[in-house]
Structures are given as structure tokens and as C-alpha cells.
Amino acid sequence: MNADSSSETLDPTDLRVLEQLQRDAAVSNQQLAERLSVSPATSHRRVRRLQEIGVIERQVAVLSPQRLKACGAGALIAIVEVTLDIQSAERIESFEARAVADAAVQQCYRVSPGPDFVLVLAVADMEHYEALARRLFTDDANVRNVRSYFSVKRAKFGTELPLPGLPGLPGAAT
């Protein structure tokens, strides 16, 4: 699917559906319909269509690292910059494939300029980080430089993407 083609097919109701689901994807279809002032059938049809065209990739639960920590589950978050020695397409794709296949890698971005990748990692503790660092960075002869930053506090975490035409966003009606 072409990313541009899906955005052209979104009308104001689609955008309102997405706005509501970004806030709470566990909302019932009945509640969503009421919030949008549409019938439950229309609400359901809109959500299903947005899933089918790939605008809604998946629906997940966002967990609290602090609450999990209180239950004995560690959550060390690291933001890691990775620079490769050789930036051929094959070498970049090889590192990216290994990174995204690792369960500890929550997010993987190719970036420019600067490092080649920025990774967001979640591991149980420093011992698990060290094992991951060996697996992904040390054992890869093409990794030239790694710079890691460890989170000491999560001040904000969001997953909502800005949507065109909604209040407070560029292109919104005033």
C-alpha cells in the first residue's frame, strides 16, 4: 500500500475514529459510536476498513514500567546510537534485520545525519543489557561505534500521531 494513497482516502470521520482509538483502543464499539455520533454499524465498518488498509497496524496494551517494577519485573530502558563501519545497503539491512528480530529492541530507526541507527531497548537489568550489547554490537564486526543512554525517569511516553484537521494541529480548522 502506498502511504500517500491511504491518507487521501481518510475523511473527517475516519480521523475522529483514529483520534479516539489512539487515546483508548479498548473502547467498545458502542462507546466509540456514541463519541462519534454515528451508528455502531458505521463505527465498526470504519474501524475494520482502517485496519484493512493498514492505517491501524495493531492494537496493543501500553504497560507501566513502574507498576511492573513493583511486581518484581525490571525495566531498564536504553536509547542507543549505532554507527556502522561500512554503510552498504546489504550491511545496513543485515544489522537492521538482526536488531528488529531481538525482543529487547522496542524501536529501531535508521537516521541521518549522525549515527546509522537509533534503538530503544527494554531489558530487565544491566546484566541483560550487557548480553544484548554482546549479541548485537560486540559480535558484529561492522559495528564501529555504540553510544548508550540509560533512562533515569520517564517524564512522558506517548504513541499518538498527529492527525490533520483536528483542533490544535497544523491544518486544523479554527
pLDDT at 103 over 80: yes
Ranges of CATH 3.30.70.920 domains, the chain: 65-150
pLDDT tens sequence across 25-74? 999 999 999 999 999 999 999 999 999 999 999 999 888 887 887 787 77
- The answer to whether the pTM exceeds 0.95 is no
Quickly name the fold that domain 3-52 has: Arc Repressor Mutant, subunit A (1.10.10)
- Residues of each domain in the chain carrying CATH 1.10.10.10: 3-52
CATH T-level assignment (fold) for domain 65-150: Alpha-Beta Plaits (3.30.70)
Reported as a single tens digit per residue, the pLDDT across 116-139 is 999 999 999 999 999 999 999 999
* Distance (Å, whole) CA 30 – CA 149: 44
Identify the three-state secondary structure at position 29: helix
Which one-letter DSSP state was computed for residue 160?
A: P
User: How far is it, in rounded angstroms, from Cα 104 to Cα 120?
Assistant: 8
Residue 123, beta-bridge partner list: 76
Q: How confident is the model at residue 174 (pLDDT cuts 50, 70, 90)?
A: very low
Position 69 scores a pLDDT of: 78
